[in-house]
């Protein structure tokens, strides 16, 4: 499986309360339960976007997840490598 970062345009995302974030997460989990070869790692909430990290066998699975869940899926980028402060030491 490969790792992907998914960009989701969601105006007002940063203003979502805990309940709304819970409901969004629960819906994602429901959809994922019906799909194979895809898993959600974590997501970052900014003012108007979600940046989600997924492991998947194919980016088409990410598009299918978004379609079934009613989630925006504006850009899918495959992670080629990772770096951190440790990389430069």
Q: Parse the chain into domains and list their residue ranges.
A: 2-83
Q: The domain 2-83 belongs to what CATH superfamily?
A: ORF SCO4226, nickel-binding ferredoxin-like monomer (3.30.70.3090)
Question: Taking residues 55-73, what's their average pLDDT?
Answer: 97
Categorize the per-residue pLDDT at 62 as very low, low, confident or very high, splitting at 50, 70 and 90.
very high
Interhelix angle 59-69/18-33, rounded to 10 degrees, is 120
Q: What integer is the mean pLDDT of 29-38?
A: 97
pLDDT of residue 33: 97
Residue at token pair 């974030």? 21
Write down the pLDDT at residue 85.
96
For position 38, what pLDDT does the model report? 98
- What's the whole-number mean pLDDT along residues 83-88? 96
**Residue 9 and residue 74 in contact, taking contact as beta carbons nearer than 8 Å:** yes
Q: If pLDDT is split at 50, 70 and 90, which confidence band does 31 have? A: very high
CB contact at 8 A, 42 and 3: no
Instruction: Answer yes or no: are the C-beta atoms of 1 and 64 closer than 8 Å.
Output: no
Mean pLDDT of 31-43: 97
């Amino acid at each position: 499986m490969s790792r992907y970062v998914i960009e989701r345009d969601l105006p007002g995302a940063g203003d979502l309360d805990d309940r709304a974030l819970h409901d969004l997460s629960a819906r994602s989990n429901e959809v994922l339960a019906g799909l194979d070869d895809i898993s959600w790692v974590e997501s970052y909430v900014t003012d108007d976007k979600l940046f989600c990290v997924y492991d998947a066998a194919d980016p088409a699975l990410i598009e299918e997840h978004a379609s079934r869940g009613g989630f925006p899926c504006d850009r899918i980028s495959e992670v080629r490598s990772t770096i951190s402060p440790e990389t430069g030491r």
